[in-house]
């Protein structure tokens, strides 16, 4: 009996050790970080306008063609996405229901003269993450603050449940599809560090309906189990390495051709590229999408940082010269998502010196570097010492919309996300192992 007890104990100890090696808590800040209330409310108010903007861009093939012409000539990944977009335009869209789950990311630009303003980093139109986990972080910080004896601050932590709003849009698209036997398909990577963020969204869907969530991998057949797919929810497919073979690209085309609602469809995916972001900052472009809404144009444009083309010609040459003269003032951005792709400081010079006289430079855009003031906090992550750090925060606002033909049946701001990292890091997200989850404490 003693031997059996010892063996059982040893077995469970091994299992617990093994599980801990595979599963750990999402990293987070010990305390919530201060965020100016006016800036926070400004970002919330903008989200439905950004939803509308993304949707209008996705319906404007001439704009996408013109905006991305130089990029697709040199960036193979974007070119392959664009070829699918052109093929769908040629064949005709098979589905009039459009579902968008976006996240617009901002930082507070604070200058030495005392001025400050909200500036957009990017808008994510595919696989916008952490809607699930950020629905749980308010309770974490409320508990921490109560334990720390800071009851008043704990009561100021905002309610936040983006997962509810995101799944409401997924469910609405499923309902409009009109088949009770059809499923929502989550498209995920085979190995995914952020799996519990996916699972939280899936769980919210299960709470709304029974037996209509299916998880598959990119290389699987779309209808391998014989179930009709009403909605394809992409949590994969935004990086070149997600497409392991030509069969992966064939699968993407198959899904775009299908009657399933795509989140996002290929046009909406392209609307979120860095090049489109840069083109939108040109004078007169926003007016094209909001011709009778000058106040909306003004509100959106106020969040644009300086964005500069690297296309061949005098304007692009000026951008190169400007960046080489003061690289610390800028960020060089390729057409990639997922964190850890941007280029800073002396590396900007290395990249631009190699491509400054080549069309290869058009694979990038240049953006003013946003400069928030650091605040101090503790970053909690597995296997990292607990120490106080100078930190920078990034605010994300989740948006969800559903359009059926010409009718926008849902357009909402559904929640927020705060991510914080040590100021010693220039780039990188939570999944990249740099930033951690946080909550805004409005001041």
Please identify every residue annotated as catalytic: 103, 122, 124, 129, 274, 333, 337-338, 419
Neighbours of 298 (CB within 10 A): 11
DSSP conformation class of 429: -
Q: What residue numbers does the annotated binding site for ATP cover?
A: 122, 274, 333-342, 344, 367-370, 394, 421, 427
Residues written for the chain: 443
CA distance 434 to 340: 9
Helix axis angle, 61-72 relative to 76-91, nearest 10°?
A: 150
Q: What residue numbers does the annotated binding site for substrate cover?
A: 103, 126-129, 192-194, 235-238, 419, 430-431
Please answer whether residues 102 and 54 qualify as being in contact, where contact means their C-beta atoms are separated by less than 8 angstroms: yes
Kind of pairing between the strands at 229-234 and 183-188: parallel
Which tokens is 126 given?
């595919």
Please answer whether residues 133 and 197 qualify as being in contact, where contact means their C-beta atoms are separated by less than 8 angstroms: yes
CA distance 140 to 31: 9
Give the dihedral of Cα atoms 235, 237, 243, 248; nearest 10 deg.
90
CA atoms within 13 A of residue 413's CA, in its CB half-sphere: 18
Please answer whether residues 158 and 439 qualify as being in contact, where contact means their C-beta atoms are separated by less than 8 angstroms: yes
Which tokens is 9 given?
């104990």
> Residue 423 in 3-state DSSP?
coil
Name the one residue in this structure whose structure tokens are 């037996």: 211
Please answer whether residues 252 and 243 qualify as being in contact, where contact means their C-beta atoms are separated by less than 8 angstroms: yes
Name beta bridge partners: 108.
118
CA angle 354, 423, 396 (to 5 degrees): 90
Q: What residue numbers does the annotated binding site for Mg(2+) cover?
A: 122, 124, 337
Element containing residue 11 per DSSP (H, E) = helix 2-22
CA atoms within 13 A of residue 432's CA, in its CB half-sphere: 16
Please answer whether residues 415 and 160 qualify as being in contact, where contact means their C-beta atoms are separated by less than 8 angstroms: yes
Name the H helices within 73-136.
76-91
Which among 185, 227, 231, 235 is positioned nearest to 338, based on CA atoms?
A: 235
């Amino acid at each position: 009996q003693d031997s059996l007890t010892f063996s059982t104990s040893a077995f469970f100890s091994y299992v617990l050790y093994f599980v801990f090696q595979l599963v750990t808590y999402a990293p987070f800040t010990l305390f919530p970080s201060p965020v100016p209330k006016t800036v926070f409310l400004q970002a919330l108010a903008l989200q439905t306008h950004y939803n509308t903007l993304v949707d209008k861009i996705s319906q404007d093939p001439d704009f996408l063609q013109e905006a991305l012409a130089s990029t697709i000539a040199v960036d193979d990944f974007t070119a392959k996405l664009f070829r699918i977009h052109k093929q769908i335009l040629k064949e005709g869209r098979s589905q009039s229901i459009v579902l968008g789950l976006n996240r617009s990311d901002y930082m507070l630009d604070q200058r030495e003269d005392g001025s400050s303003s909200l500036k957009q980093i990017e808008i994510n139109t595919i696989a916008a993450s952490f809607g699930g986990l950020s629905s749980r972080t308010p309770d974490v910080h409320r508990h921490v603050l109560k334990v720390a004896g800071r009851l008043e601050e704990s009561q100021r932590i905002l309610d936040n449940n983006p997962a509810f709003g995101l799944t409401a849009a997924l469910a609405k698209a499923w309902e409009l599809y009109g088949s009770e036997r059809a499923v929502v398909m989550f498209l995920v990577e085979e190995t995914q560090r952020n799996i519990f963020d996916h699972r939280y969204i899936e769980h919210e869907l299960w709470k709304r309906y029974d037996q209509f969530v299916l998880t598959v991998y990119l290389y699987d057949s779309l209808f391998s189990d014989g179930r009709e797919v009403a909605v394809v929810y992409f949590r994969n497919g935004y990086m070149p390495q997600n497409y392991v073979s030509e069969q992966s690209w064939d699968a993407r085309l198959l899904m775009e051709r299908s009657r399933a609602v795509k989140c996002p469809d290929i046009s909406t995916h392209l609307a979120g590229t860095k090049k489109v972001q840069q083109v939108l900052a040109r004078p007169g472009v926003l007016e094209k999408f909001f011709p009778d809404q000058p106040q909306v144009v003004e509100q959106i444009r106020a969040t644009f940082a300086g964005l500069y083309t690297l296309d061949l010609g005098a304007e692009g040459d000026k951008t190169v010269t400007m960046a080489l003269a003061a690289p610390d003032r800028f960020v060089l951005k390729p057409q990639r998502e997922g964190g850890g792709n941007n280029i800073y400081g002396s590396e900007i010079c290395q990249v631009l010196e190699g491509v400054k006289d080549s069309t290869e430079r058009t694979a990038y855009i240049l953006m003013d570097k946003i400069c928030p003031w650091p605040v101090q906090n503790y970053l909690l992550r597995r296997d990292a010492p607990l120490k106080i750090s100078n930190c920078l925060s990034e605010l994300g606002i989740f948006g969800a919309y559903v359009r059926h033909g010409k009718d926008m049946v849902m357009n909402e701001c559904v929640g927020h996300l705060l991510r914080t990292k040590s100021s010693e890091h220039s780039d990188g997200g939570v999944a990249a192992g740099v930033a951690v989850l946080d909550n805004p404490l409005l001041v």
